[in-house]
Chain A
């Protein structure tokens, strides 16, 4: 089946540790996105990538890093510099960067204590 997978569904880390969230898609989409969701808030864009080996900062990129070495993969690293990393993280993709529709993965809930 075609789709977007994010693993794991729940992730726990100690404060001060970096952690990498996985996002894989087999839809052959060019563009991929990372969003953060906090309680009572809508989604906010962290990073996006229009094409392999290219990515751009979104609205809340501080404390995060990404890579896009393969078309199907767009991992997000939450670094120790991120002051409030506990949140729900959603990955999305779209056929091209200009496509208006984005398809979302199931999300990863990250808890940092």
Chain B
């Protein structure tokens, strides 16, 4: 079974600075998807960024980018120019590319942005 580990329960960053959230996963599959979801205080889950395992190029969405290391099974999220609105829980998630509809989530990292 696949597992997702987020080793940082809490992180903090100064406004306008850069922060990196870590995620590692365990799988025997070669084709899969990885996601970062944001859950603000409203508790609505919002997709931040996704990465297809077959793509070598790291995904980027505006101030959000990932560092995908397939061999190391690592998938970190970098937030540049942090804003107060980035404060939230961030969850890393894994989904098999075939045969399973399930998203496997990590336990989350609480990000605080200090003004």
State the A residues within 8 Å of B (CB): 31, 33, 40-45, 48, 50, 58-59, 88, 90, 92, 94, 97-98, 100-107
Q: Which of B1-49 contact A (CB under 8 A)?
A: 4, 9, 33, 42-47
Neighbouring A residues of B45 by C-beta, 8 Å: 43, 90, 92, 104
Nearest neighbor of B98 in chain A, beta-carbon distance: A98
Question: B68 at the A/B interface (Cβ < 8 Å)?
Answer: no
Question: Is A43 touching B43 in the complex (CB atoms < 8 A)?
Answer: no
Neighbouring A residues of B78 by C-beta, 8 Å: none
State the B residues within 8 Å of A (CB): 4, 9, 33, 42-47, 50, 52, 91, 93, 95, 97-98, 101-103, 105-108
Nearest neighbor of B108 in chain A, beta-carbon distance: A42
A58 and B102 CA atoms in complex are apart in Å by 8
Question: Is B91 touching A42 in the complex (CB atoms < 8 A)?
Answer: yes
Given contacts A100-B33, A106-B43, whether A42 and B50 have CB atoms under 8 Å apart is no
Question: Is A41 touching B107 in the complex (CB atoms < 8 A)?
Answer: yes
From A31, A43, A98, A100, give the contact of B105 (CB < 8 A).
Answer: A43
Question: Is A43 touching B103 in the complex (CB atoms < 8 A)?
Answer: yes
Question: Is B47 touching A101 in the complex (CB atoms < 8 A)?
Answer: yes
Nearest neighbor of A108 in chain B, beta-carbon distance: B43
From A40, A45, A97, A107, give the contact of B103 (CB < 8 A).
Answer: A45
Nearest neighbor of A31 in chain B, beta-carbon distance: B101
Neighbouring B residues of A50 by C-beta, 8 Å: 101
A44 and B36 CA atoms in complex are apart in Å by 16
From B42, B52, B103, give the contact of A106 (CB < 8 A).
Answer: B42
Tell me which of B4, B45, B95 has the highest count of chain A C-beta atoms within 10 A of its own C-beta: B45
Q: Could you list 21 A-B pairs, sorted by A, with CB under 8 Å?
A: A31-B101, A33-B101, A40-B9, A40-B107, A41-B108, A42-B107, A42-B108, A43-B91, A43-B103, A43-B105, A44-B105, A48-B102, A58-B102, A88-B43, A90-B45, A92-B45, A100-B52, A102-B103, A103-B47, A105-B44, A107-B43
A31 and B106 CA atoms in complex are apart in Å by 22
Neighbouring B residues of A58 by C-beta, 8 Å: 102
